[in-house]
Amino acid sequence: MMQTPTVTPSIHQLPQAMEPRNPGIELDLDWVRRAQANTSAIERRAKTLPGRRSVKKDYQAAWLCRAISCIDLTTLSGDDTEGRVRRLCAKAHQPVRVDLLAALGMEGLTTGAVCVYHDMVPTAVEALAGTGIPVAAVSTGFPAGLSPFHLRVAEIKESVEAGASEIDIVVTRRHVLQGNWQALYDEMKTFREACGDAHVKAILATGELGTLRNVARASLVCMMAGADFIKTSTGKESVNATLPVSLVMIRAIRDYYERTGFRVGYKPAGGISKAKDAVTYLALMKDELGNRWLQPDLFRFGASSLLGDIERQLEHHVTGAYSASYRHAIG
Ligand SMILES: O=C[C@H](O)COP(=O)(O)O
Please give the ipTM for the structure prediction: 0.97
Is the distance from CB of 214 to CB of 175 less than 8 angstroms? no
- The residue from 189, 201, 267, 277 that is catalytic is 267
CATH number, domain with residue 120: 3.20.20.70
- Mean pLDDT across the chain, nearest whole number? 90
Nearest Cα to 87, choosing from 270, 314, 304? 304
* E strand or H helix that includes residue 168: strand 166-170
Residue range 92-121: average pLDDT? Answer: 95
Condensed to tens digits (0 to 9), the pLDDT of residues 77-89 reads 999 999 999 999 9
Residue 57 falls inside a structural domain = yes
Q: Is 268 in the pocket of ligand 1 (CB under 6 A)?
A: no
* E strand or H helix that includes residue 303: strand 301-303
Active site annotation includes 47: no
**Order of strands across the sheet that contains 199-203:** 265-267, 229-231, 199-203, 166-170, 135-138, 113-117, 71-74, 301-303
Is the distance from CB of 272 to CB of 304 less than 8 angstroms? no
Q: Is 270 in the pocket of ligand 1 (CB under 6 A)?
A: yes
C-alpha separations of 22 from 19, 25, 225 in Å: 9, 9, 9
Q: What is the span of the domain harbouring residue 211?
A: 23-324
Pocket test for ligand 1, best of 70, 73, 74 (most atoms within 8 A of CB): 74
How many CB atoms within 10 Å of residue 107? 9
Closest ligand 1 atom to the C-alpha of 267?
A: 1
Residue 270 falls inside a structural domain = yes
Checking 99-102 for CB contacts under 8 A at 24+ apart, the result is: 100/311, 100/314, 100/315, 100/318
Active site annotation includes 168: yes
Residue 65 falls inside a structural domain = yes
- Crossing angle of the two packed helices 306-319 and 275-289, in degrees rounded to 10: 100
Structure confidence at residue 319 as a pLDDT band (50, 70, 90): confident
- The residue from 72, 168, 297, 309 that is catalytic is 168
What confidence score (pLDDT) does residue 51 get?
Answer: 64
Question: Measured in angstroms, how far is the CA atom of residue 1 from the centroid of ligand 1?
Answer: 39
What confidence score (pLDDT) does residue 50 get?
Answer: 74
Exposure b/e, 191-227, CB count within 10 A at least 16 = b: bbebbeebbbbbbbbbbbbeebebbbbbbbbbbbbbb
Cβ-Cβ contacts under 8 Å for 322 (sequence gap 6 or more): 316, 330
pTM for the model stands at 0.91
On the CB side of 14, CA atoms within 13 Å amount to 12
Residue 99 falls inside a structural domain = yes
Q: Is 235 in the pocket of ligand 1 (CB under 6 A)?
A: yes
Residue 296 falls inside a structural domain = yes
Residue 215 falls inside a structural domain = yes
- The residue from 231, 277, 297, 309 that is catalytic is 231
Closest ligand 1 atom to the C-alpha of 306?
A: 10
What confidence score (pLDDT) does residue 20 get?
Answer: 86
Which ranges of the chain does DSSP label H, i.e. alpha helix?
29-34, 39-47, 57-69, 82-93, 98-104, 121-127, 149-161, 173-177, 181-195, 212-224, 243-260, 275-289, 306-319, 324-329
Phi, psi of 299, deg, nearest 5? -150, 130
pLDDT at 49 over 90: no
Structure confidence at residue 18 as a pLDDT band (50, 70, 90): low
Residue 188 falls inside a structural domain = yes
pLDDT at 38 over 80: yes
Residue range 255-275: average pLDDT? Answer: 97
**How many angstroms separate the CA atoms of 158 and 152, rounded?**
10
Largest CA distance in the chain: 64
Residue 5 falls inside a structural domain = no
Question: Measured in angstroms, how far is the CA atom of residue 271 from the centroid of ligand 1?
Answer: 6
Structure confidence at residue 3 as a pLDDT band (50, 70, 90): very low
Active site annotation includes 309: no
Q: Is 302 in the pocket of ligand 1 (CB under 6 A)?
A: yes
Phi, psi of 274, deg, nearest 5? -115, 140
Nearest Cα to 169, choosing from 225, 210, 123, 129? 225
Report the domain count for the chain: 1
Nearest Cα to 19, choosing from 191, 257, 218? 257
